[in-house]
Each structure stands twice: as C-alpha cells, then as structure tokens.
Structure 1
C-alpha cells in the first residue's frame, strides 16, 4: 500500500484528519460505521476535506487499519500514531511533525463527516490570506475544522494529552478569524449512534 506520509513542501496547506480515537462511547469502530449514503464515517470526512487541501494526512492508530487502503485510494496519506491512547494531542502533534514544512494545517475530526467541502475551502482560503488561526462559525457558534498557520508549528508539535489545539485557540482569541458558513455540520460531532441522521426508508414497492 502506498500513501506513506512524505515531508510537506513549503506553501502547502495540509489537512490533518484525526482518526485514531477508540470511540468507546460509540460502542464499535465508528470510523467503519456506514452513513446513509453507504460511505463509512472516516471516508466521508476525508472526501469532504480533500478538495480544500494540497494534501490530506489521516492519523490512524495503526497503518494496517481496515480503512487505510481505501483512504489511500481516496487520495490521502496514512500516518500511524501508536501514542494515540494518550489523547488527541499526540495524534495532532504527530501529524504536524510529519509535515513540518507546511504553510498551515486544517485540523479535522473523522467523527465529523457532515462538514461541507465549501467550509473546508473557506478555512483554507483564510490561511492562504495569512490568517494565523481560522475556524467556521454557524449561527454564532464556532465549529470545526480549525486552521493553524505555520507560526504554530512548534506549539502544535509539542502537544500531548487530549486538548488538541484548544489551548492555543483560548490563549490567542484575538488572532482567530471566524468565517460564517451555512453549514450545521461544523457542530455535528458523532459520539453515539443515535446522533447520526436516520437512514432514508426505501420507497414502498408498486408491483
């Protein structure tokens, strides 16, 4: 399987899709859970992120995850993070260290598969317009994904625990560019199966 992460080129916006959590509250591997359109949650999240970025790196617990080959086929690169049990910070730090020459990163979550591609593009555009930090806003609420410019490389690379980039955002709110979007998916993280939209029912037979 190809798709092993290579170093980033200067000027690239890299999407980092965090997909190394265990999803204990979901009750099973939620990355593999099929959505109403038949795609798994992780593949849908990756497909929505990919058009906005020069590259997408998916951080998994192990390189032999059952979805790894399909993610590579979708144009993503795979990064294994054995330290993922330590929390989201470890996964994010690993993704940034592996692409340390990037101009910026869009950090997305594999359990938020309903974010529209246009939202990811809006965050990428903010980074390319030299925003330091960027995030979407839906009906007054900040959502995901979050964009980080290159200046945060060292801070992101040193993350541990389960805070991700939250502390950076909290400490530097004045630098955060909010992009209003008409996309409720930016607030829809899936922790339990009942949070997923119901699958459409098949039309009754007319035979």
Structure 2
C-alpha cells in the first residue's frame, strides 16, 4: 500500500519477471507444482507483500498460461486491481528484454521499484521494509545478502529507471547496478530464501 497522503505520497512499484522459457527445467517451470500451488505463486506472494501500488508481471514464454495463473492468484487474494500484466515480445533475447518491458510500464510517479524473479519462491516478506528504508535513506538501490552472496529482490530507486529501460541481453539489471559503490545498500539476512531459485526439477523440494 502507498504511504503518506496527497502530493507527499510515496509510491512504490514491483516487477515480477516471469518471461523465461525454463529450458533447463524442461518447460512450464513457473507453472510447476510447488508447496500447494504453482512455483510462480511464491514470487507473487512476496511481490504483493511489498508496499507496491502496482505489481507488473512480465510474461514471455507460455504467456497466456502464466498470465492466467497470475491473474487467478491475484483474484483469490482480492488483489486483482494491483496486478498489471505486460508481455515482452522479444523475451528470447534474455532477462534484459523482460526487464525493459517491465521498466517501461512503471508509473512515472513511482519512487522506486522492486524486481522479483518468478523462479524465486521463498523471498521473505520481512526483508522488504528494510530495503525500502535503505532507499528512503538515500541509497540508489538496495539488495539482500546472505552468506556473503547478493540475492533478490533488488529495490531500485527512480533514478535507475532509465538504465533498467535500457537493459539488454541476459545481464538483467547488472549494468544498472554497476558503479553504484556504497550507493548500493547491502542488507544482510540469514534467510536463504533470498538465494533460493529453481532451475531444474531436482531443485524442487522432495
């Protein structure tokens, strides 16, 4: 939910990247059964737990099925009005294409945007306010770390929206983060959900 009131209102957005073909998984990865739902449900749960006014889901491969699954999930939560679905027609290029599509749909008045990955279903909601606090304190972006490794999601301030709109290849947001130095706030957590992703069927819990 947005905070504040009137012209001083702080508005956040979120992007969920759900365009990949899941080739290493064998296809239909985001629709695979996971903990009583679909794998994508975990990323949606985290995104909708954020203070984002709008959650932008970027589809690519299996676009119709992924969009329908996400819309149905959001409706079940009574949050269908917060979900916006955009399609990255050039998704085969790599993550950069889906990130461009999501960033292009961001509202101009947003103070920042979370970027969630559709195959990371265990992002802890408790972490999200800490990322917001870091950006509100002046960081250009904020990301979690666990065991010395940088994880997801990343919260980008509005000053980085243009670099996100220019993302290319399979590098995703790395170019936008490059060179930030101490302006990239690293938020330490012991929750390995910030690192857990699913690439292959064997990554799913038995």
Which residue, 69, 94, 98 being the options, matches 2:101?
Answer: 94
Matched, 1:77 2:84: yes
Partner of 1:32: 31
Residue 22 (structure 1) aligned with residue 18 (structure 2): no
Q: How many Å apart are 1:191 and its aligned residue?
A: 0.4
**Equivalence for 2:46:** 48
Distance 2:92 2:129 in 1: 30
The whole-number CA distance in structure 1 between the counterparts of 2:135 and 2:120 is 21
* Aligned position for 2:12: 13
C-alpha RMSD over aligned residues:
1.8
Contact 1:13 1:124 (8 Å CA) reproduced: no
Measure how far apart 1:168 and its partner are.
2.4
SS at match of 1:64: helix
Which is helix-richer, 1 or 2? 2
The aligned counterpart of 1:115 is 123
Q: Which residue of 2 aligns with 1:6?
A: none
Q: What is the distance in 2 between the residues matched to 1:39 and 1:121?
A: 26
When the two structures are aligned, how many residues end up with a matched partner? 188
Q: Distance in 2 between matches of 1:11 and 1:70?
A: 28
Residues of 2 paired with 1:31 and 1:181: CA distance? 26
Equivalents in 2 of 1:92, 1:44: separation in Å?
A: 19
Counterparts of 1:122-141 in structure 2, within 5 Å, are 122-141=130-149
Displacement of 1:15: 1.0
Q: Which moved more, 1:86-95 or 1:170-179?
A: 170-179
Task: Give the drift of 1:64.
Answer: 2.6
Q: 1:58 is matched with which residue?
A: 57
CA distance in 2, matches of 1:63, 1:140: 35
Task: Give the Cα–Cα distance (whole angstroms) in 2 for the partners of residues 122 and 146 of structure 1.
Answer: 11
Larger radius of gyration: 1
Structure 1 residues not aligned, in runs of 5+? 1-9, 199-207
- Per the normalisation by structure 2, the TM-score is 0.84
Return the alpha-carbon distance in structure 2 between the equivalents of residues 127 and 39 of structure 1.
Answer: 32
Moved over 4 A (4+): none
Q: List per-residue Cα deviations over 1:145-200 (Å, max 9, x = no partner).
A: 111101111111111211111122232233110111121011111100111222xx
